[in-house]
Structure 1
Amino acid sequence: MSYATVADMVKRYQRRNLDLLTKTRTDNGQPDDGIIDEALADATALMDSYIVARYTLPLTVVPATLPQVCGVIAWYYLNDVRATEQATQRYKDAIRWLEGVRDEKIPLGTDTAGASPDGENLVEVVSDPSVFSRKQQGFI
């Protein structure tokens, strides 16, 4: 399962730009979403190699940052040797971010088992302050 989809890539990078990148890689010169899927799969595999050091895969809850990072890496892969300085810098930033996740410097927002607590039905314990303590002597 990829962290991002072709639709996510279209939303982020525009259909026209993706078509220009993919049609140069096909025999008939037609755009091919399969090439985008391959780039997304490669990006996901790279991301998993960092994430698995700290979290159980597959993640039950995918944080919103993962599709963005996946898209950045896939975009870099699609550009290949034509990657702009901006695309290269974003790729390096994404790798640095993944290293932070791996090294436990950056949390994903899920627990180490890969699940995030739901917002509802959480247990909250509230109590009054202690009546007795070691500092209190005699009667209260």
Structure 2
Amino acid sequence: MLYASAQDMRDRYDNLDTLLFQPGSDTPNEKKLTQALNDAGALADSYLSAKYALPLAVVPQVLVQHCCAIAFYYLCDQQATDQARDRYREALTWLREVKSGSIPVGVDEAGSAPASDDLPQMQAEAPVFGRNQKGFI
């Protein structure tokens, strides 16, 4: 699932178009950007599916941020900077922690959070004693 859009990437990274230009072309390769975003979403899904029902009804901003960092790292190919590599590693660490349940996935701009499938459930029999029995069964 796509958690980030091409516009999200352009808002975050000023030098994005320089990564998308191919030699001998005047226009950026949007297909390469879409593929990187799809790959980042698939990676996020592989972690999120352990804890949440997919697709997420609510996409938290922190997830968009980390998917953009992963997609940008994928676009860098062989010339990834230390900053891009560090952001990629931080995103993977965050996804691992979400998978393990040590941190929640977060909320969107409206304050809504996705429902988790990994919550404890309790089930019990009806009570034996009640207030109106007054000590007798």
- Give the alignment's TM-score, normalised by structure 2: 0.75
User: Counterparts in 2 of 1:109-124, with a 5 A limit?
Assistant: 109=106, 110-113=114-117
Structure 2's unaligned 5+ residue stretches are: 107-113, 118-137
The answer on whether the counterparts of 2:19 and 2:76 sit within 8 Å (CA) in structure 1 is yes
2:133 matched residue in structure 1 = none
1:6 matched residue in structure 2 = 6
The answer on whether the counterparts of 2:51 and 2:99 sit within 8 Å (CA) in structure 1 is yes
Once the 2 structures are TM-superposed, how far is the Cα of residue 27 of structure 1 from its aligned partner? 6.5
Once the 2 structures are TM-superposed, how far is the Cα of residue 29 of structure 1 from its aligned partner? 5.5
Residues 108-129 of structure 1 show CA distances to partners (whole Å, capped at 9, x for unaligned) of: 133214xxxxxxxxxxxxxxxx
Matched, 1:85 2:106: no
Q: Distance in 2 between matches of 1:4 and 1:69?
A: 9
Deviates more, 1:57-66 or 1:29-38: 29-38
**Percent identity (aligned):** 46
Q: Tell me the C-alpha RMSD between the 2 structures.
A: 1.8
Alpha carbons of structure 1 residues 27 and 58: separation in structure 2 relative to 1, 3 Å: farther
- Give the alignment's TM-score, normalised by structure 1: 0.73
Which of the residues 19, 22, 32 maps onto 1:21? 19
Q: Provide the secondary structure at the position in 1 that maps to 2:28.
A: coil
2:101 matched residue in structure 1 = 104
Structure 1's unaligned 5+ residue stretches are: 114-140
Once the 2 structures are TM-superposed, how far is the Cα of residue 70 of structure 1 from its aligned partner? 0.5
Matched, 1:65 2:62: yes
